[in-house]
Amino acid sequence: MTDGIRLQVLGAQVDVVPAGEAIDPLTDSIRHGWRRCLVNAGEAQGTEPTRPDRIAVHLDDPADLADALEDLTHRVTRAAIASGVGRLVMLHAAALAHPTTGRTAVLVGPSGRGKTTATRELARTLGYVSDETAAIDVDGALLPYPKPLSLLGPDGRRPKDTVCPDDLGLAPTPAEARLGALILLDRDPDGPAEPVLEPVPLLDGLLGLAEQSSSLAALDAGLHRLADLAASVGGVRRLRYREAATLLPVVEGLLS
CATH number where 243 lies:
3.40.50
Q: Could you tell me if 94 and 65 lie in one domain? A: no
Q: Return the pLDDT at 25.
A: 80
For position 202, what pLDDT does the model report? 94
Q: Do 16 and 115 sit in the same domain of this protein?
A: no
Q: Strand 161-163 and strand 149-151: pairing?
A: antiparallel
Co-location of 98 and 76 in the same domain? no
Of 83, 99, 126, the one marking the end of a domain is 83
Q: Is the pLDDT of residue 175 over 80?
A: yes
Give the residue-averaged pLDDT of 130-156: 90
* Res. 70: pLDDT tops 60: yes
pLDDT at 52: 41
> Do 56 and 122 belong to one domain?
no
pLDDT at 164 over 80: yes
Whether 188 and 248 share a structural domain: yes
Q: What is the pLDDT of residues 97-127, one digit of tens each?
A: 999 999 999 999 998 888 999 999 999 999 9
Q: Is the pLDDT of residue 67 over 90?
A: no
Q: What is the pLDDT of residue 31?
A: 93
pLDDT band at 1 (very low <50, low <70, confident <90, very high): very low
CB 148 within 8 A of CB 73: yes
User: Are residues 209 and 107 part of one domain?
Assistant: yes
Residues 183 and 94 in one domain: yes
Whether residue 102 sits in one domain with residue 222: yes
Q: Answer yes or no: do 156 and 222 share one domain.
A: yes
Residue 48 has pLDDT above 70, yes or no: no
Q: What percent of the chain has pLDDT over 70?
A: 89
Question: Which pLDDT belongs to residue 56?
Answer: 77
Among residues 66, 83, 100, which one ends one of the domains? 83
pLDDT at 192 over 90: yes
Residues 142 and 246 in one domain: yes
Is residue 243 within 8 Å of residue 190, measured between CB atoms? no
DSSP strands (E only) in the chain: 5-9, 12-17, 55-58, 89-97, 103-108, 127-130, 133-136, 142-143, 149-151, 161-163, 178-187, 196-199, 236-241
pLDDT for 3 equals: 61
β-strands 161-163, 178-187 pairing: unpaired
**How many structural domains compose the chain?**
2
Among residues 61, 83, 105, the one where a domain terminates is: 83
Count the neighbouring beta carbons within 10 Å of the beta carbon of residue 168: 15
Question: What's the domain range around 21?
Answer: 1-83
| Phi, psi at 182, each rounded to 5° | -115, 120
Name, of 33-47, 111-125, 150-164, the range with top average pLDDT: 111-125
Based on the domain organization, do 45 and 66 belong to the same domain? yes
Residues 79 and 102 in one domain: no
Task: Please report the pLDDT score of residue 112 as a whole number.
Answer: 80
What mean pLDDT is predicted for residues 71-99?
94
